[in-house]
Amino acid sequence: MSTDKSPRLADPFVNTHTHEPYAPGALDGLTFALKDNIDVAREVTGYGSPGWKDAHAAEPVAHAICMEQLLGAGATFKGKTISDELAYSLLGVNAFYGTPANPKAPDRIPGGSSSGSASAVAGKQVDFALGTDTGGSVRVPAANCGIWGYRPSHGAISVSGVLPLAPSYDTVGIMTRTGEVLEKVMGVLLAEEGQDPTAPPTVCFVDDVFQLAGGQMAEVLAPFQRKIAEMCRTQTATLSEITASHVNWRWLFENWGTCSPSRSGTVSEPGSPMISRG
């Protein structure tokens, strides 16, 4: 999609207030930015909306937990980045603050809603950035801007100090230019120290989703299920067992698409032709 009819192209940052790390650690020498729906102490969290900012003018008294983790691991904070208004779009266009440039394709949109974070990373203004992903808001801009994007499983990274969109699905995600930096940041935010790295993960197959997909799709997916079962512990469940039983899952699947969660989350690699939806 071209930006010809979009608002002005903008610097990806809402502000560039620096916070130095608390101590040396695994992220020494790395710089990062946060999407403007993640709290930074003594700065109003704007949520991509002047109206929201005016109506919620109280400054947070503390950083979000994810910010604290990164500063404690040696990373340097370089500023807040533009978000689509109220984080409610996958385009990356913001009529109030401008549309962050897509450094890899300047005539095209960056994708959203974590548009500024993706733009800042792709433009080498920071080493990594955090966004939020409810239905693709890290993975889409990462794919559009040609960088790595990681959406963890729900609850794997703390959302304390993060403004909600849909709390049952909201996650904090990571964007980087390299897999090596992504691995380091994941190690900090997922609090992996002390865990057994050799323990196989458990993957849950949501049976009724596969049934709704139809016979041909189930046949295509079957070899992948078998391969996963060879590498991981597996279990099965239905959507009604793991969430509210009153939801019309057939309608949800047919209109929006669903995917079963894994403990490892979803990664979109640079140049990946497909984006899984969450």
Within 10 angstroms of residue 112's Cβ, the number of other Cβ atoms is 32
Could you say which residues of the chain have pLDDT below 70?
A: 1-8, 192-199, 239-240, 242-278
Instruction: Assess whether 137 carries a catalytic annotation.
Output: yes
CB-based contact 202:232 (threshold 8 Å): yes
Residue of 49, 137, 184, 268 with catalytic role: 137
pLDDT of residue 183: 95
Task: Write the pLDDT tens digit of every residue in 162-171.
Answer: 999 999 999 9
Residue of 35, 78, 80, 184 with catalytic role: 35
Map residue 159 onto helix, strand or coil. coil
pTM: 0.71
Instruction: Assess whether 35 carries a catalytic annotation.
Output: yes
Instruction: Assess whether 78 carries a catalytic annotation.
Output: no
Residue of 113, 115, 117, 119 with catalytic role: 113
Query: How does DSSP classify residue 248?
Result: -
Burial class (CB in 10 A: 0-12, 13-18, 19+), 250: exposed
Closest CA to 22 of 74, 77, 66: 74
